């Protein structure tokens, strides 16, 4: 997909999301002309717009346990302790799959940073909606770019509350930072709700599950 096509799709996502403020949708529409002449500049402006809007959307306490599904490649890249990353992503995948308890291995290898997941990656779903799913089912239900196996971060409602983490349903502006042009309103698939937070602290994590 060309840069012009990507920014056009993202602009249309924001423009068509009627849960966003009218001004934000109108401002996104106004970037169409810029996108024709300079898609990179239009994308930069769209990202700024999306960040400003997202920061001011109302949030609420989570009513239930939430979960985040992470491919092993992204776990290695973004969530491992630095010393664990001395081996390649492919080698790390083999090591975890060979472990007696892969979930415990992942928890041991997890970075200790106070912020576990930053805002633009804080996509979560209700844990009950995916509790019984295997890897292939997760890939389909959550429209994940990387195939299984997956690590599933489970954030109990009580720990989310204690950590002061508040959430809201994902909107089109949340798709802009990472260029998620395939985002669909209402959740990635039927029966799956999608929430997002600003930052998720390490203290809100209950446990990690391993899904093949």
Rounded Cα gap, residues 137 and 116, in angstroms: 25
At 73 the pLDDT is 93
Quick one: pLDDT at residue 114? 95
Contact (Cβ atoms closer than 8 angstroms) between residue 164 and residue 204: no
12-21 pLDDT tens trace: 999 999 999 9
On whether both 45 and 67 belong to a single domain, the answer is no
User: 184 lies in which domain range?
Assistant: 60-72+112-211
Asked if residue 155 and residue 66 are part of one domain, the reply reads: yes
Q: 191 falls in which pLDDT band (50, 70, 90)?
A: confident
Both 67 and 140 in one domain: the answer is: yes
What are phi and psi for residue 13, nearest 5 degrees?
A: -60, -50
The conformational region for residue 187 under phi > 0 = left, psi -120 to 50 = alpha, else beta, is: left
Q: Is the pLDDT of residue 51 over 90?
A: yes
The mean per-residue pLDDT over the stretch 20-44 comes to 95
Asked whether residue 98 is assigned to any structural domain, the reply reads no
Q: Are residues 47 and 116 in the same domain?
A: no
Domain count within the chain: 2
Clarify whether residues 122 and 139 are in a common domain.
Answer: yes
In tens, the pLDDT along 105-161 reads 999 999 999 999 998 899 999 999 999 999 999 999 998 888 999 999 999 999 999
The mean pLDDT of 13-41, rounded to a whole number, is 95
Residue 145 vs residues 52, 72, 136: alpha-carbon distances, Å? 27, 12, 12
| Same structural domain, 17 and 67 | no
Structure tokens at 102: 């892969």
Q: Does residue 43 register a pLDDT over 90?
A: yes
One domain, residues 48 and 130: no
> Are residues 19 and 67 located together in one domain of the fold?
no
Is 7 found in the same domain as 22?
yes
Q: Are residues 134 and 171 in the same domain?
A: yes
In this structure, the answer to whether residues 205 and 126 fall within a common structural domain is: yes
Angle at 177 between CA 173 and CA 178, to 5 degrees: 120
In terms of domains, do 25 and 64 share one? no
Q: Is the full-model pTM beyond 0.75?
A: yes
Token representation of residue 16? 């068509």
């Amino acid at each position: 997909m060309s840069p012009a096509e990507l920014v056009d799709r993202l602009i249309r996502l924001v423009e068509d999301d009627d849960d966003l403020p009218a001004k934000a949708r109108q401002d996104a529409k106004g970037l169409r002309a810029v996108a024709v002449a300079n898609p990179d500049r239009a994308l930069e402006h769209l990202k700024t717009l999306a960040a400003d809007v997202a920061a001011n959307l109302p949030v609420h306490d989570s009513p239930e346990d939430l979960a985040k599904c992470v491919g092993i490649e992204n776990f290695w890249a973004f969530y491992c302790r630095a010393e664990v990353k001395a081996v390649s992503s492919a080698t790390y995948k083999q090591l975890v799959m060979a472990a007696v308890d892969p979930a415990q291995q992942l928890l041991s290898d997890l970075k200790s940073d106070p912020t576990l997941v930053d805002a633009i990656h804080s996509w979560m779903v209700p844990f009950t909606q995916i509790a019984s799913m295997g890897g292939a089912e997760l890939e389909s239900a959550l429209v994940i770019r990387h195939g299984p196996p997956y690590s599933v971060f489970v954030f109990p409602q009580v720990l989310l509350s204690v950590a002061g983490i508040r959430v809201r349903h994902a909107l089109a502006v949340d798709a802009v930072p990472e260029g998620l042009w395939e985002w669909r309103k209402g959740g990635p698939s039927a029966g799956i709700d999608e929430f997002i937070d600003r930052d998720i602290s390490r203290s809100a994590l209950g446990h990690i599950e391993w899904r093949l």
